[in-house]
Structure 1
Amino acid sequence: MSNQTSIQAILVCQGAEYKAVCRGLSRVTGCTPSVIPIPVGTKTNSIYLPNSQDIKKILNHPQPRVLVMGLCGSLKPKYRVGDVVLYKDCVYQENTGNTLVQKCDATFTASLQEYLQDKISVVRALTSDRIIWLKSEKRLLGQTLDTDVVDMEGFAVLEFFKSTGVTVAMVRVVSDGCNGNIPNLNLALSHDGSVQPLSFAIAMLKQPIAATRLIRGGLRGLQVLEQFTTFLFQ
């Protein structure tokens, strides 16, 4: 990518997604961006981002560019497991029902779109406080909020950086389609965004078919995320 050197950092969820991006970058020679792991969840990032030393280093850069990467879930049938999507904006629905929108940087996003062309789809994302696990709810949210994919961090990242002068773009890989349920893993998520292994295992065992779907989709999504990272920064 011609302007790869101008991306100072990649933000990606801690754990498997972080490892996949690091593996992808390990195949790239030359100057690569730093990779910063962030916690899962909107509220956790609202606390983490202002207090992170790694983030403070980005804010000190004269013209910082940050790329958010990771996995997401589909809210519409046209976006399938393994598809790479480029965000134009993120929608967040407050408890009051009020809908807020944060936009990704238009120039940065357009440059990525021009470079990647048919390898990606440009989408509107929903950022949710919880895991959307029922296929019926996925499709309903896609229709009522006119959103294409769902994550748990995008809006919080854009909101934090909006007044800092940092330009942000987001690229994610679909790891969960909207044609089936996945296990309800909400009780397995800790307040700090980490996963509680025992609660996770119990939730997976309770819904074996949904668990298989989640595992298959996750493995495929991580594989594409790793390959795409190499391609983007080569």
Structure 2
Amino acid sequence: MPNFLPINTILVPQGTEYQAVCRGLSGLPGSIPTVVAIPVGMKPLLKYLQQSPGNGQFLAPKSRVLIMGICGSLSDRYTVGDIVLYQDCIYQGKQQECDRSFTAELHSRLPTPNSPLNLVKSLTSDRLISSAAEKRRLGETLAADVVDMEGFTALEFFNAAGVAVAMLRVVSDDCQHNIPDLTPAINSDGSLKPFPLAIAMLRQPLAATRLIRGSLTALKVLEQVTNLLFSGNQLK
């Protein structure tokens, strides 16, 4: 089946998430959206969206932008490999909503019998949340289900421009276990620094192993759900 869902552009955090989405689209017939790798983090993303010479494709009349990637769980209800479709994002008491009709269309066109498609509320953080206890506290106090580092910024930018946005992500880490603090490994431009990343992982080997396993699971599901979305196949 060709691209049955009109989407102009898919934005995906650079690196393994971007690669997973590209694999999911690889070899599909018909028209597929342009896939764009974006920087990790709120400030790098905002700078990219404001200054990117190609942002005209995002802001064209009646554009639809789908943001994909992985996220962390803030609730016992969501665990590694769960597919989540955002309703909105919050940041420091402010809220930005995803496009309702676009989100509803995605929800209706993704038959995932073995992996329920969950509608969630997201928290966007300007830093990586590595502590399981902090995740649970944030989830409880803010009534948020998942956390990422780009969602609110993207919604604020595109909503102001009148562009319809939906967000589809896969949970890569739960709220029961700590993950390594990778904040020192993130450059100001949103890219990862290999050496600090390796050091952070080595300092917490058990947490690092769990993070790697969860990420590999989530990335595989991300690849599959991308393929499903634009081919009409069933999620394995």
When the two structures are superposed, what TM-score results if normalisation uses the length of structure 1? 0.94
Taking the aligned partners of 1:126 and 1:232, their CA distance within structure 2 comes to 25
Correspondence for 1:112: 106
Structure number having the greater helix percentage: 1
Q: CA RMSD in A?
A: 1.4
* Offset at residue 2 of structure 1 (A): 8.5
**Residue 128 in structure 1 maps to residue 115 in structure 2:** no
| 2:227 counterpart SS class | helix
Structure 2 partner of 1:41: 41
Identity %: 56
**Structure 1 residue 38: Cα displacement:** 0.5
Give the SS at the match of 1:56.
coil
- Shift in CA distance, 142/54, structure 1 to aligned 2, threshold 3 Å: same
Q: For 2:139 and 2:123, how far apart are their aligned partners in 1?
A: 8
How far does residue 117 in structure 1 lie from its aligned partner after superposition? 5.5
Aligned ranges for residues 52-201 of structure 1 at < 5 Å?
Answer: 52-60=52-60, 62-93=61-92, 99-116=93-110, 119-201=116-198
Structure 1 residue runs of 4+, over 6 Å off?
Answer: none
SS at match of 1:193: coil
Report the Cα offset of residue 57 of structure 1: 2.0
Contact 1:27 1:230 in 2 (8 A): no
Question: Residues of 2 paired with 1:28 and 1:145: CA distance?
Answer: 40
State the match for 2:27 in structure 1: 27
Query: Aligned-pair distance for 1:55?
Result: 1.9
Unaligned runs of 5+ in 2: 232-236
1:58 Cα offset (Å) = 2.5
Gaps of 5+ in 1: 94-98
Q: Which whole-Å CA distance do the structure 2 matches of 1:2 and 1:227 have between them? A: 16
Q: Aligned residues, how many?
A: 228
Does the Cα contact within 8 Å between 1:4 and 1:32 map onto a contact in 2? no
SS in 2 for 1:6: coil
